[in-house]
Structure 1
């Protein structure tokens, strides 16, 4: 695979430069991902993409968004929290969706396949991290002997970016979204051009000059105005995703001072619940989330947050009950199932946890926490071969290929030869061999 050839030279940099210092990798949160799915749905339809395309969040303050395969759109948390409207976020998603629908990925080095396995997604994230353009990456590339090939793999061409801008604007119009949102996004990046290259955010550095993009967008908007409708649902979910992210990523005091400025009372209460939870005030945290649930009693995602608060406060029995309630309300949500399995493990019931976590993994392999907990459940129920296999897949997802190889080798020796799990171990070993 061409992606493996280009990434081979960069693997030594992975641990240091996968994310900026503050970043924590993928943020897997059922509430945030549902919100982004609701916001993205009309844009993806307008772009002609299937509903299976997922929008995922990376914990990173940089103003960046990107695609690295045909199945995922990645948004940095810093960009989501910086944007001022749902329409602006929809324009960003439409721009990235255009790279998929316009076939740009097929022409870029490294787009060999969609990431349909834990190892595959880990490689995609490794490539995307290198593409982010952080100073540490730039230093590593400058010192490396493969920098020319890597630049070929990582570069966004200006022609493709301009094409994606036009396609994104057209998608907004088809979806009934005001294309003026593009001007809001471009305006955010206008000031980046005055900064030195080392201080610019990667989204600006990899794209045409903002003034040129702004001029083109203004011309399009002038001929396509007055046809949009306000989507109140998208606005609600945008502010809810912003509120949830900021509550967990910013200081609790910052959140508590600003919670009452939320667009709805339930979002304000949710933010307060998270802030109080982060200050270990269980009483106030539960009071706030219960008040939010009083306003939205059928909201499984708020029930899930209550379960998380209880679990992280070591109220294991209560957490299991609340997570069961959330899972009953949203039986197909893998992150909620993962939370239930985690609570059952903490409560000392690995057998029940194993069943639930297998269901969660079957629906979504992208959450390292689910894989970690599933490995623990297998170990506690005496299946060390499966525990090693799932651990190998988790390390592959995280980009830790040497650890993945170690555990896949162990799993290969413990699992029945030729079985499905044994072949999964072979997949991980094959991937690490190709990269080496």
Structure 2
């Protein structure tokens, strides 16, 4: 977990993951957000002939408007895109469009932009995509984020023909699942005005997804003939989307700005969500807890509301009080590894031997469900060490650094684990896998570093 200004809001439902401090962007992880992304988008993936479990979505902490596909079936969404969408149909319009880039087999157009991207950025994309496809999600993200041009969409550009195909296919996917495609048109209309701006002032989505009036007219014709034309958004999905927007605003914006948008007079769940984060960031613990309790009272079977209340108590030093609240969240959301991780973290932080033992199966289950959860691995390693299970602690630490994209540290701890486990056991074999993959990744990164150093020296000499 990253230290500094984000430390006080660690976990408050949203987890800020930064594998290496120098990366320009970070992955925002939140149990409720990830559940919404799949609930809303999986029908679109199925309509496109994709297997939803094979499509991975990542929310990036980035204010600009962008979404892009890379490394196979991986969709990256900027937080700014969600905040810019007025309703869930606008967001799903973009998701439908991006889905075609996967299902239609579009390849990125490189050309001049490719040449300008730089060897390091291109290599980082290739290595990161390979790592993700091999199952090391966070490791792949770590490598990819090293090439900032990838995440910023500097050379992710599609041809206009591909864009038109994605528009029409996306509209067809939306029609298949009964969603009004007008949201896609409205969102693209917002971006079309940026075409006249200098490239440096354009949002990345405009640069990588060229827009023009002909495209929008073609899309409008397809949407207006759909049986779902002018159909209002699904009320349940719309409510969840507005909650997600409020959470993101509260988490990312300055409290004053959030409270202007969601004043105390607004008692909607979305507004309370936003104020929980705003008050928490302002260190107004009592006000944050009051809003969290109101959320729990409004929906007593909602695990995410208990998660937020537990996290506020935890962050305010009331750790033991947070335990039953976290337990309730886990009981209500047994398939939410991020919630289980928060519960395990609270137990481990008390450094109580009995709680350490109880935390181990909870954190083990979290890592089984989400093998790229570096914070779960960190707390599990600590619990193992406190319980005298040093071999397991070494393997868990190796898993942590492997997932975080820190290959040299993964190599060191994998070697320790192999020395501790009996040869041929499942634990020994897993440590060996991490060792071999991390050694190869470390060698490639070292070659990349040397190449960059040579390029810098040549540039200096010139």
TM-score (norm. length: structure 2): 0.78
Kindly indicate whether residue 392 of structure 2 is the aligned counterpart of residue 386 of structure 1: yes
Aligned partners of 2:407 and 2:439 also within 8 Å = no
Distance 1:192 1:397 in 2: 38
Kindly indicate whether residue 118 of structure 2 is the aligned counterpart of residue 115 of structure 1: no
Match of 2:166 among 161, 164, 167: 164
Q: Cα–Cα, structure 1 residues 326 and 130, in superposed 2: closer, same or farther, change >3 Å? A: same
Kindly indicate whether residue 377 of structure 2 is the aligned counterpart of residue 371 of structure 1: yes
Q: Cα–Cα, structure 1 residues 41 and 214, in superposed 2: closer, same or farther, change >3 Å? A: same
**Aligned residue in 2 for 1:231:** 234
Aligned partners of 1:68 and 1:124 also within 8 Å = no
Quote the RMSD (CA, aligned, Å).
3.0
Aligned partners of 1:48 and 1:101 also within 8 Å = yes
Q: Cα–Cα, structure 1 residues 210 and 381, in superposed 2: closer, same or farther, change >3 Å? A: farther
Kindly indicate whether residue 250 of structure 2 is the aligned counterpart of residue 271 of structure 1: no
Greater relative CO (CA pairs within 8 A, separation 6+): 1
Distance 1:175 1:206 in 2: 27
Unmatched 5+ stretches in structure 1? 1-13, 139-150
Moved more, 225-234 or 92-101: 225-234
Distance 1:66 1:416 in 2: 44
Q: Cα–Cα, structure 1 residues 164 and 385, in superposed 2: closer, same or farther, change >3 Å? A: farther
Q: What is the CA deviation profile of residues 210-241 of structure 1, one whole-angstrom value per residue up to 9, with x for unaligned ones? A: 44532332232243365434310111011011
Q: What is the CA deviation profile of residues 301-343 of structure 1, one whole-angstrom value per residue up to 9, with x for unaligned ones? A: 1111111111111211111110011111111211111111111
Total equivalences in the alignment: 403
1:402 alignment partner, SS class: helix
Aligned partners of 2:363 and 2:379 also within 8 Å = yes
Q: Cα–Cα, structure 1 residues 213 and 281, in superposed 2: closer, same or farther, change >3 Å? A: same
Distance 1:133 1:188 in 2: 24
**Aligned residue in 2 for 1:213:** 215
Aligned partners of 1:265 and 1:292 also within 8 Å = no
1:178 alignment partner, SS class: coil
Alignment of 1:49-198 (within 5 A): 49-52=50-53, 53-70=55-72, 72-104=74-106, 110=126, 115=133, 117=135, 119-124=136-141, 126-127=143-144, 130=147, 132-133=149-150, 156-198=158-200
Distance 2:185 2:265 in 1: 24
Q: Cα–Cα, structure 1 residues 106 and 257, in superposed 2: closer, same or farther, change >3 Å? A: closer
Moved more, 315-324 or 398-407: 398-407
**Aligned residue in 1 for 2:309:** 306
Kindly indicate whether residue 346 of structure 2 is the aligned counterpart of residue 343 of structure 1: yes
Q: What is the CA deviation profile of residues 319-374 of structure 1, one whole-angstrom value per residue up to 9, with x for unaligned ones? A: 11100111111112111111111111122222111110001111112322212212
1:337 alignment partner, SS class: helix
Distance 2:377 2:138 in 1: 14
Distance 1:210 1:383 in 2: 61
Distance 2:97 2:255 in 1: 33
Aligned partners of 1:256 and 1:272 also within 8 Å = yes
Distance 1:128 1:83 in 2: 25
Aligned partners of 1:186 and 1:210 also within 8 Å = no
Kindly indicate whether residue 337 of structure 2 is the aligned counterpart of residue 334 of structure 1: yes
Aligned partners of 2:91 and 2:184 also within 8 Å = no
Aligned partners of 2:27 and 2:58 also within 8 Å = yes
Q: Cα–Cα, structure 1 residues 281 and 193, in superposed 2: closer, same or farther, change >3 Å? A: same
Match of 1:425 among 414, 422, 431: 431
Distance 1:66 1:158 in 2: 15
Kindly indicate whether residue 43 of structure 2 is the aligned counterpart of residue 42 of structure 1: yes
**Aligned residue in 1 for 2:120:** none
Distance 1:288 1:411 in 2: 46
Moved more, 384-393 or 323-332: 384-393
1:28 alignment partner, SS class: strand
Shift of 1:429: 2.6
Aligned partners of 1:405 and 1:428 also within 8 Å = yes
TM-score (norm. length: structure 1): 0.82
Q: Cα–Cα, structure 1 residues 209 and 361, in superposed 2: closer, same or farther, change >3 Å? A: same
